[in-house]
Structure 1
C-alpha cells in the first residue's frame, strides 16, 4: 500500500573523526560505564554499518525496543550516538534515525 510519507530517505551524515575522553581523578566520565555494556557495544557495531531506527537496532541485536531505547539514551548522553534524521513507518509514525557521532573513540587513563 503506497504511503504519503517517505520511509527510508537517504541519510547524509558524517561523524566526527575522533573523540578523546580523558579519565583521571578530577574528571568524571560516564563513557566507560556506557560502553562497558554488551548491548551498547552491539548497538555501536550495528550503527557502524548504517544509520538505523530504534526498532531496526533492536531487531538487529535481538533485544527489546525498550532495552535499545535505554542504551541509545545513554549513548546519546555520552555523545557517541546522535539522532540524524526522521523516517516514517508505513503507518506514518515518526521514527528517529540514529548514527554514530564519532568514527573513533580514544580513552586515555591518567593518574
Structure 2
C-alpha cells in the first residue's frame, strides 16, 4: 500500500514573515503566554521552526506521547502560533496533518503607550531583517 499514496503530500512551508509584536497588556498575549508556559509546547514550536512535522513526528522529537503533542498543538493553533500546512499519508494509508509555524519571530513588549507601538514594531522589523 505504501506505493499507492504519497508519503510526503503537499506542505505549504510558507516564507519568513515579518515579526509579530505583542504587548503584555493585550488580551491575545495572555493566551499566547499561557500556551507557551509549558516546556513541551515551546519544544514543539521550536521543532516546527526547524521543519514542518506531523504530530507523530513531533512526539518522537520531543519525547512525549502523541496525545500530549496533540493537546499542545491545539493550544498553539488556538494562539495562532501554529497552522496546518498540509497533509501526508502514513505507511498504513492514514491521512496525517502536517503542522508549521504561522510566522517568523515573535516579540512581547512591556510598557509604552499607544504612540510607541507602531515605532517599536517598525524598529523591531528593521532590526530583524
TM > 0.5 fold call: yes
Instruction: For structure 1, list consecutive stretches of 5 or more residues without a partner in the other structure.
Output: none
TM-score using structure 2 length: 0.77
RMSD: 1.6
The answer as to whether partners of 1:87 and 1:95 remain within 8 angstroms in 2 is: yes
Listed one character per residue, the Cα deviations across residues 22-76 of structure 1 (whole Å, up to 9, x for unaligned) are 121xx32210111121001110111111100000000110000000000000001
Choose 1 or 2 for highest CA Rg: 2
1:78 equivalent in structure 2: 79
TM-score using structure 1 length: 0.89
Q: After the TM superposition, which residues 11-26 of structure 1 pair with which residues of structure 2 at under 5 Å, given as runs? A: 11-14=11-14, 15-24=16-25
Larger helix proportion, structure 1 or 2? 2
The answer as to whether partners of 1:82 and 1:101 remain within 8 angstroms in 2 is: yes
Count how many residue pairs are aligned between Structure 1 and Structure 2: 109
Q: After the TM superposition, which residues 12-91 of structure 1 pair with which residues of structure 2 at under 5 Å, given as runs? A: 12-14=12-14, 15-24=16-25, 27-28=26-27, 29-91=30-92
**The residue matched to 2:35 in structure 1 has which SS?**
helix
Instruction: For structure 2, list consecutive stretches of 5 or more residues without a partner in the other structure.
Output: 113-129
1:105 equivalent in structure 2: 106
- Paired with 2:62 and 2:21, the residues of 1 have a C-alpha distance of 27
- Paired with 1:62 and 1:5, the residues of 2 have a C-alpha distance of 28
- Paired with 1:55 and 1:100, the residues of 2 have a C-alpha distance of 17
Displaced runs of 4 or more, over 4 A: none
The answer as to whether partners of 2:6 and 2:88 remain within 8 angstroms in 1 is: yes
